[in-house]
């Protein structure tokens, strides 16, 4: 494309997004380099090695579809694959498509500065090296920067400190140890039952209870796999037509359109199927508060059936909108609280005061343990961007542009930062859909766009500010219609002190979004300035 840069494109991150981006760009003949902070590829599945870590989109759908051979040859063993199996899959993909040779591991991109004179990005690596590229593709991940609350006195704690998202590779043996887990989101809900089986005692610190639906995980039946593989494209097409990019049986009528007994029967049926598809029981659960309340009441009753101590069940049963915070999928989570070696501490009113040498205190009461697990989540969606010193036109820092919340055109680009693409950026469906599906759609769109520019001899693409503003307004309007924007969650930067309260992903649904992206491309990249 040009010999004046080190690379045509630099990709930051080697998770599923970075890997597929590399494969596509190299296939189109571009000179590409991927930089990855970790010592291995796989992103989420490289970092999150905590006990019990799995996907909660079914394995047969939580996988790439770009290669028919790949999806035919890979064998998932369970309905929901474990973290090691997903990481093996990422490694298999990297080897099968010979990706490793263009990936530089153990390398954090510290800064990315746009040089207006040459329409070139200069990237500064943590070792001090600088590389240049025409395009900078941010494949940073939406859930890749951990959130570690700044508890006073943590440095005095004499025990071991872990975060689910930075789990030691050698594993952790909790046998005979008193363990604390802070947080009750998806990572906690997956890890707590496993840690409880090993630890001498487990204390869980809960600020907000969460709804969880049983996974009913099981080995995959060969007949089921054969049937899917006989028409994988058919399943993918059905998934693509769904709001969430995942196919499962769902109803297209209101919770109010049936009587109470019928409604209960339908919830029971969806409970028995398990997992995230529970919210497909009726089509108004995320838009109608009274409809949602019927689903929430059903799940609360289930929690009460599972937890022997009624007072404990009350603490564990959320009184909030189901699906407002991301729904969790569990395997024996609530039952774990029936164990003699598990204690729940409610920190909703009295927050954790801070740490001591032997544990932490809540309202002055000491809780002592040998190890603490932070299951406190991520600085989601924008955290990995804010950690890079990204500067666009006139030296404008991205952090300043996004001070009041992220602003993008289609979650793909942001005005003032030409030739910088984001994969699953804020303002795209990303985390509200099955992510490998959304990653492939973004990567394909970006590669097509670059091909269009190459054909026309263009070297610069930038989102128009007016189109970006209109898109942001649309993203906000869509969010306002959903119950999902009504509570504190990581979708809104909820757990990060000081983050502006902005609903970051696009909630209008995957099919509408794909249609919008395709129509923009078909109209010669309407809303972008190309030069």
Under the rule (CB under 6 A), what is the footprint of ligand FAD?
12-18, 35-38, 43-44, 46, 48, 53, 55-57, 62, 108-109, 139-144, 187, 384, 388, 423-424, 434-435, 439
Return the range that interacts with ligand NAP (CB under 6 A); candidates 13-21, 241-249, 374-382, 471-479: 374-382
Burial of 404 by CB count in 10 Å (0-12 exposed, 13-18 middle, 19+ buried)?
Answer: exposed
Round to whole Å and give the CA distance between 395 and 417: 10
Of 186, 428, 438, 441, which lies in the binding site for ligand NAP, with binding defined by CB under 6 A?
186
Q: State both tokens at 294.
A: 């019927």
Return the range that interacts with ligand NAP (CB under 6 A); candidates 221-229, 297-305, 369-377, 454-462: 369-377
Round to whole Å and give the CA distance between 202 and 209: 17
| Nearby residues of 108 by Cβ (< 8 Å), 6 or more positions away | 35, 37, 125, 126
We find the least distance from the C-beta atom of residue 305 to ligand FAD, in angstroms, to be: 26
- Where on the phi/psi map is residue 381: left (φ > 0), alpha (ψ -120 to 50), or beta? left
Write out the H or E segment, with its range, that includes residue 109.
strand 109-115
Cβ proximity to ligand NAP: between 255 and 380 the closer is 380
Cβ proximity to ligand NAP: between 318 and 418 the closer is 318
We find the least distance from the C-beta atom of residue 151 to ligand NAP, in angstroms, to be: 7
Q: Is 416 near ligand NAP (CB under 6 A)?
A: no
We find the least distance from the C-beta atom of residue 215 to ligand NAP, in angstroms, to be: 8
Of 56, 58, 119, 370, which lies in the binding site for ligand NAP, with binding defined by CB under 6 A?
56
Cβ proximity to ligand FAD: between 48 and 336 the closer is 48
Look up residue 279 and give its DSSP letter: G
We find the least distance from the C-beta atom of residue 146 to ligand NAP, in angstroms, to be: 8
Of 18, 40, 183, 426, which lies in the binding site for ligand NAP, with binding defined by CB under 6 A?
183
Give me the residue label for tokens 């998806």.
186
Round to whole Å and give the CA distance between 299 and 322: 9
Q: Is 60 near ligand NAP (CB under 6 A)?
A: no
We find the least distance from the C-beta atom of residue 454 to ligand FAD, in angstroms, to be: 25
Q: Within 13 Å, how many C-alpha atoms sit on residue 153's CB side?
A: 13
| CA distance readout (Å), 149 to 15, 227, 345, 355 | 25, 46, 18, 12
Cβ proximity to ligand FAD: between 85 and 284 the closer is 85
Q: Is 207 near ligand NAP (CB under 6 A)?
A: yes
Of 318, 377, 418, 429, which lies in the binding site for ligand NAP, with binding defined by CB under 6 A?
377
Contacted entry of ligand FAD, ligand NAP, none for residue 520, CB cut-off 5 to 8 Å set by kind:
none
Q: Is 149 near ligand NAP (CB under 6 A)?
A: yes
Of 10, 19, 41, 55, which lies in the binding site for ligand NAP, with binding defined by CB under 6 A?
55
Contacted entry of ligand FAD, ligand NAP, none for residue 244, CB cut-off 5 to 8 Å set by kind:
none
Q: State both tokens at 529.
A: 């300035």
Cβ proximity to ligand NAP: between 324 and 459 the closer is 324
Look up residue 97 and give its DSSP letter: T
| CA distance readout (Å), 116 to 111, 136, 392, 393, 395 | 16, 14, 8, 7, 9
Of 143, 213, 342, 423, which lies in the binding site for ligand NAP, with binding defined by CB under 6 A?
143
Cβ pair 200, 176 in contact under 8 A: yes
Q: Smallest Cα–Cα separation from 508: which of 470, 485, 481?
A: 481
322: Cα separation from own chain's centroid:
19
Round to whole Å and give the CA distance between 191 and 196: 9
Cβ proximity to ligand NAP: between 431 and 453 the closer is 431
Q: Is 211 near ligand NAP (CB under 6 A)?
A: no
Of 89, 270, 421, 490, which lies in the binding site for ligand NAP, with binding defined by CB under 6 A?
490
Residues in the chain: 531
Burial of 317 by CB count in 10 Å (0-12 exposed, 13-18 middle, 19+ buried)?
Answer: buried
Cβ proximity to ligand NAP: between 135 and 157 the closer is 157
Round to whole Å and give the CA distance between 179 and 233: 46
Q: Binding pattern to ligand NAP, positions 293-332, x when CB under 6 A?
A: ---------------------------------x--x---
We find the least distance from the C-beta atom of residue 38 to ligand FAD, in angstroms, to be: 5
Cβ proximity to ligand FAD: between 50 and 355 the closer is 50
| CA distance readout (Å), 90 to 70, 107, 168, 231, 436 | 11, 19, 19, 23, 12
Write out the H or E segment, with its range, that includes residue 421.
strand 420-422
We find the least distance from the C-beta atom of residue 262 to ligand NAP, in angstroms, to be: 30
Contacted entry of ligand NAP, ligand FAD, none for residue 341, CB cut-off 5 to 8 Å set by kind:
none
We find the least distance from the C-beta atom of residue 408 to ligand NAP, in angstroms, to be: 20
Contacted entry of ligand FAD, ligand NAP, none for residue 329, CB cut-off 5 to 8 Å set by kind:
ligand NAP
Q: State both tokens at 474.
A: 């649309």
Cβ proximity to ligand FAD: between 111 and 530 the closer is 111
Cβ proximity to ligand NAP: between 133 and 327 the closer is 327
Round to whole Å and give the CA distance between 517 and 513: 6
Residue nearest to ligand NAP (CB): 185
Which regions of 333-402 does DSSP assign to beta strands (E)? Answer: 342-346, 352-355, 359-362, 365-368, 371-374, 389-391
Judged by DSSP in three states, 76 sits in: coil
Round to whole Å and give the CA distance between 144 and 108: 13
Binding site for ligand NAP (CB under 6 A): 54-56, 143, 149, 164, 182-188, 190, 205, 207-208, 326, 329, 347, 352, 375-378, 431, 490, 494-495
């Amino acid at each position: 494309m040009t010999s004046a840069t080190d690379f045509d494109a630099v990709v930051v991150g080697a998770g599923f997004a970075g890997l597929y981006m590399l494969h596509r760009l190299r296939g189109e003949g571009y000179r590409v380099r991927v930089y990855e902070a970790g010592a291995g590829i796989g992103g989420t599945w490289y970092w999150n090695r905590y006990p019990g870590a799995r996907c909660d989109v079914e394995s047969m759908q939580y996988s790439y579809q770009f290669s028919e051979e790949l999806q035919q040859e890979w064998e998932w063993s369970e309905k929901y694959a474990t973290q090691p199996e997903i990481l093996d899959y990422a490694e298999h993909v990297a080897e099968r498509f010979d990706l490793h040779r263009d990936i530089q591991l153990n390398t954090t991109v510290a800064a990315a500065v746009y040089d207006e004179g040459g329409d070139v990005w200069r990237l500064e690596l943590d070792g001090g090296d600088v590389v240049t590229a025409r395009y900078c593709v941010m494949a940073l991940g939406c859930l890749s920067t951990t959130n570690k609350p700044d508890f006073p006195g943590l440095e005095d704690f004499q025990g071991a400190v872990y975060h689910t998202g930075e789990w030691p590779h050698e594993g952790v043996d909790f046998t005979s140890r008193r363990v604390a887990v802070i947080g009750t989101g998806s990572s906690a809900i997956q890890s707590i039952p496993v840690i409880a089986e090993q630890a001498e005692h487990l204390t869980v610190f809960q600020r907000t209870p969460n709804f969880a639906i049983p996974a009913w995980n099981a080995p995959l039946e060969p007949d089921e796999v054969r049937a899917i593989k006989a028409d994988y494209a058919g399943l993918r097409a059905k998934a693509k037509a769904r709001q969430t990019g995942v196919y499962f049986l769902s109803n297209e009528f209101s919770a109010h359109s049936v009587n109470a007994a019928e409604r209960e029967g339908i919830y029971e049926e969806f409970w028995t199927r398990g997992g995230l598809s529970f919210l497909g029981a009726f089509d108004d659960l995320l838009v109608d508060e009274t409809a949602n309340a019927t689903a929430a009441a059903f799940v609360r009753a289930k929690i009460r059936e599972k937890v022997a101590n009624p007072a404990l069940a009350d603490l564990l049963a959320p009184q909030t909108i189901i699906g407002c915070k991301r729904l969790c999928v569990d395997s024996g989570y609530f039952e774990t609280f029936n164990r003699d070696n598990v204690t729940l501490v409610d920190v909703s009113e009295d927050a954790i005061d801070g740490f001591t040498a032997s544990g932490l205190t809540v309202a002055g009461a000491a809780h002592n343990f040998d190890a603490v697990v932070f299951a406190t989540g991520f600085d989601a969606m924008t955290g990995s961007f804010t950690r890079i010193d990204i500067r666009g036109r006139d030296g404008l820092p991205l952090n300043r542009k996004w001070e009041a919340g992220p602003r993008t055109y289609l979650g793909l680009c942001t005005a003032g930062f030409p030739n910088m693409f984001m994969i699953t950026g804020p303002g795209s469906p990303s985390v509200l859909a099955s992510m490998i599906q959304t990653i492939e759609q973004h990567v394909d769109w970006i590669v097509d766009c670059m091909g269009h520019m190459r054909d026309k001899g263009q070297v610069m693409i930038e989102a128009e500010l007016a189109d970006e503003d209109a898109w942001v307004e649309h993203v906000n309007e869509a969010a306002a219609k959903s119950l999902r924007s009504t509570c504190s969650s990581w979708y809104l930067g909820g757990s990060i002190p000081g983050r502006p309260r902005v609903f970051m992903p696009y909630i209008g649904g995957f099919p509408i979004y794909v249609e919008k992206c395709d129509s923009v491309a078909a109209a010669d990249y309407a809303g972008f300035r190309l030069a």
